[in-house]
Structure 1
């Protein structure tokens, strides 16, 4: 019996040691693939013959699919075990990456959009990694692992933007997606050794397909109205009908979720006082972040003949964004320690304040590359602090049986905020474009940076409503 006990303990220790790198790799793979197209969006537009606003949908398609898949994955993980859902998400990432790579070779923008949407289904990996972290990590290391996983949302995204430029310069745009296939395969290899997870005692209830459909329709209508409103005319019948449809679908979604036994989004979690402030701040900071990261590559790659911009290649754009990625990596562990001393709210507010400073700097100083290096470093620290604090704030406010659902709700709000930010930034820039070049004016970029800074300031204010989370439930 003693030998058996020692053997069991050794196996458990081995599983824990394997779990941490596997979970971090899985989160990194999804986050990298989410933003891998950002620095190359101008290239996709030129090579595929689509407008800059249309090219932005290569980012938005991922986010739309992620917004729907994330809460479903969180709920299914709580019900049936987190490892199964993790593996399913990584398989979706592999399949979408393969489809996108083949479509890119064929020059099919439609195929690329579909492949990106399939990739986006992998975002369900995020909430189940929190559930598996809670199961495998020792109590004294849980805070650090949660912070690291939460920070991966930002760090992986920054890495994706940085590596995209060199990859496109050396191998072409299709290799952005072959990389996703490689990362997904590596994470799948590690996932085989993870524990199955702790499913809830009751498995009653079917997946909320109606809720998923209504949520999809709501988000598509919202983002379609935002992205096409200028082209259609903001007061046109098409734009008004699209936004009206968004409101109707949204109302129907809420009504269905309130009456469904196992909803895609648990409205009770949205109303929980300990989570309301965190979720609001999450949406706002995500809008500001993704607005900024979609604007910077376009400015960088604008020809100098426009009177601004640097005429950079994608590789040079990656270098311009590099300080953001580096500082995100540096800020994440610092944020974890700071959160333990001062609380997650203070850490988040520090991040929001730094974001205001970095974006404000770009609004008034953007004529030299070093302006972007400096501001990018500040933004990297900002979003490293902000995103690293969110995971602990969320799971510290719920019971372990709700970890997947609560993390899923928060992640979907990050994704919705990011999709809104990307499309809003594209609309602001498009609104300033003037013939014959159809390039945005410099004042359009100033407006986009100022708007992003204002959003970050709102996130700081929203964080004042965040309540101190309880200790982690065991």
Structure 2
């Protein structure tokens, strides 16, 4: 008997989102236990995002061509395998293996466009908009839950348990996905053409960009190494665009980027992701700073998780409201509400951050911001394209969301590192103030970017149910 699709798809999206951020609260501990710097430890988050950014558009395209169920199963299998490798490497104290496991986990980013494609094929028309909004919200809800549960788990059982959790979360929806109906495949699939070159160029561009940002301070911002990585990024991007324009089955369909509604939504998504992921990278580091620095709370991972609990709670509460609000007003208005709340919460932390209760209040505001902003994005994307473009369009949006998040995380680390003064390796409190206020400003820019979303997207319409995979 075919399984009910909604719970399986939601669990799959939740598993990916949890695994992405489950290391955030424990990053300082990973650095201490494995003998690496704070910047290097941050790559445990960035490696997942980078692999996800590369894999997601490929998965979206493959789902549109060969069936989203197959892609969903492959992504969850990668999440399970990566979790197993990461757990074993962490037990052995092998940072390189742990980093490889996190990158393999990141391949599961392809689960998200596959889930959107399956939702559009399998969900009843009157429930599609709610399911799409819920899937979009899982990106934020799962991310917040990952940061919250990580602390208590690490405090009781150690860091390897974070990856055993990932294995368990992957296996449950994996079995469910095997029970979903496969659906018919398109009759026009070109099995001879896969855009391997495009994927390689995209990977090179992303690696060069993130490497330049993360290592710029250590190498020197004007050094040949730093400038060389940024030049390599630009060259790879130019080559990628040239290849994609001439490829029959591109990894990223550049024609979709010219759709006004989708382009505006994608730009707003990148901007809000930079601001929000910068914030979630900053907060745990601030909380775990020893009080001898003159700021911070000296928290362990468990206390850090508790500090971020209001964020997760408010995400869960507000995400289901996003679809209703979008129907009553517009998807754009819902997104902008999230951007305003993010700017308020981050701005508050920029001015007052001396007591935990201030983080509880600001965290609740940020949770509501995540819930409204990210739940509305998926609805806007799906409503902007034809049904056969769902996987590709949601894949593009997810990769841009991931790139924005990776940039936000690395930029936050760079801002804090640049504020440190010898002989102390710790950032100054002024560095945190700058980082919080900069994140607030970026969230405000996301509000302005959303103004470009066309008026035709103001009200979310329910697309017709389709029968193709």
Give the alignment's TM-score, normalised by structure 2: 0.97
Spell out, residue by residue over 1:84-112, the C-alpha distance to the aligned partner (whole angstroms, 9 max, x if none): 11000000000000000000001011111
Distance 2:258 2:28 in 1: 41
Instruction: Could you tell me which runs of 5 or more consecutive residues in structure 1 were left unpaired when the two chains were aligned.
Output: 1-10
Which residue does 2:339 correspond to in 1? 352
- Give the equivalent residue in structure 2 for 1:181: 167
1:255 aligns with 2:242: yes
Q: Which residue of 2 aligns with 1:133?
A: 119
Pick from 370, 373, 378 the counterpart of residue 383 of structure 1.
370
For residue 267 of structure 1, give the secondary structure of its aligned residue in structure 2.
Answer: coil
Residues 1:42 and 2:28 aligned together: yes
After TM superposition, give the deviation of residue 189 of structure 1 in Å: 1.3
Deviations, residues 274-301 of structure 1 (Å, cap 9, x unaligned): 2111000000000011000000000000
1:272 is matched with which residue?
259
Partner of 2:214: 227
- The Cα of 1:273 is off from its aligned counterpart by 1.0
* 1:27 and 2:27 are equivalent in the alignment: no
Distance in 2, matches of 1:209 and 1:215, equals 10
Structure 1 residues 193 and 248, CA, compared in 2 at 3 Å: closer, same or farther? same
Q: How far has the Cα of 1:198 moved from its partner?
A: 4.6
In the aligned structure 1, how far is the partner of 2:225 from the partner of 2:184? 48
**Residue 60 (structure 2) aligns with:** 74
Residue in structure 2 matched with residue 441 of structure 1 by the alignment: 428
Question: Which of 43, 54, 60 matches 2:46?
Answer: 60
Partner of 2:152: 166
Distance 1:131 1:361 in 2: 39
Structure 1 residue aligned with 2:442 = 455
Return the alpha-carbon distance in structure 2 between the equivalents of residues 284 and 203 of structure 1.
Answer: 35
Pairing partner for 2:415 from 388, 404, 428? 428
Residue 207 of structure 1: CA displacement? 2.1
What is the CA–CA distance in structure 1 between the aligned matches of 2:186 and 2:245, rounded to whole Å?
Answer: 21
- Contact in 2 for aligned 1:359/1:379 (Cα 8 Å): yes
**Partners of 1:341 and 1:208 in 2: how far apart?**
41
In structure 1, distance between residues paired with 2:172 and 2:444 = 39
* Deviation of 1:434 (Å): 1.4
Query: Hey, what's the Cα distance between the residues in 2 that align with 1:364 and 1:198?
Result: 56
Deviations 1:101-156 (A, max 9, x none): 00000101111110000000001000010011111111111010000000000000
Shift of 1:199: 3.1
Q: 1:109 aligns to what?
A: 95
8 Å CA contact retained: 1:71, 1:405? yes
Specify which of 379, 386, 393 is matched with residue 380 of structure 2: 393
2:268 is matched with 281
Who is 1:407 aligned against?
Answer: 394
3-state SS, counterpart of residue 185 of structure 2? coil
Q: Distance in 2 between matches of 1:108 and 1:346?
A: 47
Counterpart secondary structure, 1:89: helix
Aligned counterparts of 1:85 and 1:348: Cα–Cα separation in 2 = 29
Aligned equivalents of 2:333 and 2:387: distance in 1? 24
Question: Where do 1:121-160 residues align within 5 Å?
Answer: 121-160=107-146
Q: Secondary structure at the match of 2:231?
A: helix
| CA distance in structure 1 between the partners assigned to 2:337 and 2:171 by the alignment | 37
Question: Do the aligned partners of 2:125 and 2:464 also contact (CA within 8 Å) in 1?
Answer: no
Q: Give the Å deviation of 1:436.
A: 2.0
Q: For the residues of structure 2 that align with 1:341 and 1:296, how far apart are their CA atoms?
A: 34
1:414 offset after TM fit, Å? Answer: 0.4
Shift of 1:201: 2.7
Give SS of 1:465's match.
Answer: coil
What root-mean-square deviation, in Å, do the aligned CA atoms of Structure 1 and Structure 2 show? 1.0
Aligned 8 A contact 1:127 1:408 in 2: yes
Give 1:73 deviation, angstroms. 0.5
Matches within 5 A, 1:319-358: 319-358=306-345
**2:277/2:406 contact within 8 Å kept:** yes
Given the two structures, how large is their TM-score scaled by the length of structure 1? 0.96
CA shift digits 1:255-278 (9 cap, x unpaired):
101111111111000111121110
Alignment match, 2:200:
213
Report the alpha carbon displacement of residue 344 of structure 1 after superposing the two structures with TM: 0.3
Q: How many residues align?
A: 460
CA deviations over 1:25-73 (Å, ceiling 9, x no partner): 0000000000000000000011111111111000000000000110000
SS at match of 2:333: helix
Determine the C-alpha separation between the residues in 1 that align with 2:184 and 2:156.
Answer: 45
- The answer on 1:84 being equivalent to 2:63 is no
Contact residue 131 and residue 197 of structure 1 kept, 8 A: no
Q: Is contact 2:336-2:447 (8 Å) kept?
A: yes
Deviation (angstroms), 1:473:
4.0
